[in-house]
């Protein structure tokens, strides 16, 4: 094995663990909004301020961080991001001890600052680690690792936070149930940061460019807006699922949060599909690689619901449909993105106007069709940019992740005033913009 191959594997392994870490933290916060609503007796709009505090961080610091990374390098950026995340996680301990919702928001903001560091550094790093033609495949693989964490986080909340015992506690007792998960997470993050300090990561050369400014690329700017709507829709759907199922299906929070885990698990399954669907391998190998992913869907869907094999079987069936629909994209990032955006919009509309088991499984299935959106949008947005422009472009794109701060409160306000079912029309509109970006906005304009 060559030294270059070793260096590439080290780089991808480290970045894979980074994606897992910030995926867990992000989804933990998103799912926690339902618990915060209960702890502090908030309206749905007020509870979504937790998401606002997390995602508004992207609006404030993504571009400065993108410029700063060019000076300090990717490795230092990853270490700083991890330490900031750990600091935010530790802050949840006193925030829950008081308990204080404003301090919850401050803790969330600090943790999110670390995530922004990690994400701004990690996405362009993965893109630049190999050929541009397979960048979407690499990003889908790392996003799949991210999505393993996003499935685990709601399950942990269901088991350790939304338990029957915790529901019997007063507000202070309920708040304290969130302390240990954050402390354990923060300790592990510090250990990983120390390990990264000791290893050598492959450097990405910052080549010079004659292009005047990344602001001159319409496909990049329209892609950043697509990220705004994608993150807003994904977070909005995910953060309202628990209370939506409680309201419309009469589920308790413990059961509903396990279904939320399946929603996020769909993103995991779809991204594993994307990791080889956007590579150069032939169809027979793609089908071979799909089989263990389908097995993963069956097992994971069963596991998070207390080994309910019937639910695992339903999730498996939806995953098969997702894989078949992905074939329409013929391995092309833009075409697959367009198809998935239309399907996701349709599923949100059925969730709004449907009832019972149909609406339950349409809202859960959206996760599968969210799966390839971020990596494909990002890949299309940075196409034709050179390595010297990647960190700045990543900063701009990541700034628009603050859609997660805007769309969920809008959905929360709709839910408060008109009911939870009407709230799902909002993300349907978001997916229609993503469809436009896929078919037109992503085209390179010279």
Express each pLDDT in 351-371 by its tens digit: 999 988 999 999 999 999 998
Mean pLDDT, rounded, for 278-284:
77
Q: What pLDDT is recorded for position 402?
A: 93
The Cα–Cα gap between 158 and 21 comes to 19
At residue 133 the predicted structure's pLDDT band, cuts being 50, 70 and 90, is low
Query: Residue 224 to residues 6, 114, 385, 408: CA-CA distances in angstroms?
Result: 33, 20, 14, 18
CATH: 1.10.3720.10, 1.20.1250.20, 3.30.1330.10, 1.10.150.20. Which one for 3-201+211-441?
A: 1.20.1250.20
- Which pLDDT tens digit goes with each residue over 203-260? 665 554 444 577 888 999 999 999 999 999 999 999 999 999 988 888 888 888 889 8
The Cα–Cα gap between 124 and 285 comes to 28
Q: What pLDDT is recorded for position 88?
A: 94
Q: Residues with Cβ < 8 Å from 398, sequence gap 6 or more?
A: 58, 62, 65, 66, 116, 119, 120, 123, 227
Q: What pLDDT is recorded for position 211?
A: 45
List the domain boundaries for the chain. Answer: 3-201+211-441
The Cα–Cα gap between 408 and 401 comes to 12
The Cα–Cα gap between 143 and 270 comes to 10
Give CA 355 to chain center in angstroms. 27
Residues for the chain: how many in total? 446
More confidently predicted of 129 and 318: 318
Residue 230 token pair:
């994608």
User: CB of 249 within 8 A of CB of 103?
Assistant: no
Q: What is the dihedral of CA 212, 215, 219, 224, to 10 degrees?
A: 150
Residue 117 token pair:
């560091």
Tell whether the model's pLDDT for residue 123 goes beyond 90: no
The Cα–Cα gap between 233 and 55 comes to 13
Q: What pLDDT is recorded for position 1?
A: 44
Tell whether the model's pLDDT for residue 52 goes beyond 80: yes
- Which pLDDT tens digit goes with each residue over 147-169? 677 677 777 766 666 554 455 55
Q: What pLDDT is recorded for position 360?
A: 94
Tell whether the model's pLDDT for residue 129 goes beyond 80: no
Q: What pLDDT is recorded for position 285?
A: 86
- Which pLDDT tens digit goes with each residue over 384-399? 887 667 767 877 888 8
Q: What pLDDT is recorded for position 347?
A: 97
């Amino acid at each position: 094995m060559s030294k270059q191959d070793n260096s590439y594997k080290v780089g991808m392994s480290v970045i894979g663990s980074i994606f897992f870490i910030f995926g867990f933290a992000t989804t933990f916060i998103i799912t926690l909004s339902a618990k915060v609503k209960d702890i502090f007796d908030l309206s749905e709009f007020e509870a979504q301020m937790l998401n606002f505090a997390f995602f508004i961080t992207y609006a404030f610091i993504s571009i400065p961080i993108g410029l700063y990374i060019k000076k300090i390098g990717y490795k230092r950026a990853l270490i700083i991001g991890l330490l900031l995340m750990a600091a935010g996680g530790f802050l949840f301990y006193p925030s829950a001890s008081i308990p204080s919702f404003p301090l919850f928001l401050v803790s969330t903001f600090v943790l999110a600052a670390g995530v922004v560091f990690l994400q701004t550094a990690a996405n362009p790093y993965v893109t630049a680690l190999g050929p541009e033609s397979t960048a979407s495949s690499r990003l889908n693989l790392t996003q799949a690792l991210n999505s393993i964490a996003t499935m685990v986080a709601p399950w942990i909340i269901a088991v350790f936070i939304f338990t029957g015992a915790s529901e019997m506690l007063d507000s202070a007792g309920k708040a304290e149930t969130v302390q240990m998960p954050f402390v354990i997470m923060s300790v592990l993050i510090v250990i990983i940061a120390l390990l990264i300090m000791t290893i050598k990561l492959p450097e990405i050369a910052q080549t010079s460019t004659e292009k005047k400014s990344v602001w001159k690329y319409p496909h990049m700017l329209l892609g950043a807006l697509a990220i705004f709507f994608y993150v807003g829709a994904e977070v909005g759907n995910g953060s309202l699922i628990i209370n939506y199922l409680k309201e419309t299906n009469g589920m308790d929070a413990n059961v509903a949060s396990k279904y939320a885990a399946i929603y996020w698990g769909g993103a995991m399954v779809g991204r594993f599909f994307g990791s080889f669907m956007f590579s150069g391998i032939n169809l027979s190998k793609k089908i071979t690689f799909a089989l263990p992913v389908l097995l993963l869907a069956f097992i994971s869907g069963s596991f998070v619901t207390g080994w309910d094999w019937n639910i695992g079987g339903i999730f498996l069936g939806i995953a098969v449909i997702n894989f078949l629909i992905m074939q329409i994209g013929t391995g092309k990032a833009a075409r697959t993105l367009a198809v998935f955006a239309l399907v996701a919009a349709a599923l949100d509309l059925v969730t709004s106007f449907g009832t019972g088991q149909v609406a339950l499984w349409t809202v859960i299935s959206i996760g599968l069709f969210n799966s390839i959106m971020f990596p494909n949008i990002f890949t299309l947005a940075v196409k034709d940019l050179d390595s010297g422009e990647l960190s700045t472009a990543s900063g701009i794109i990541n700034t628009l992740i603050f859609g997660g701060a805007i769309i969920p409160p809008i959905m929360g306000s709709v839910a408060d005033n008109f009911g939870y079912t009407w709230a799902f029309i909002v993300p349907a509109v978001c997916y229609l913009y993503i469809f436009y970006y896929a078919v037109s906005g992503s085209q390179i304009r010279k």
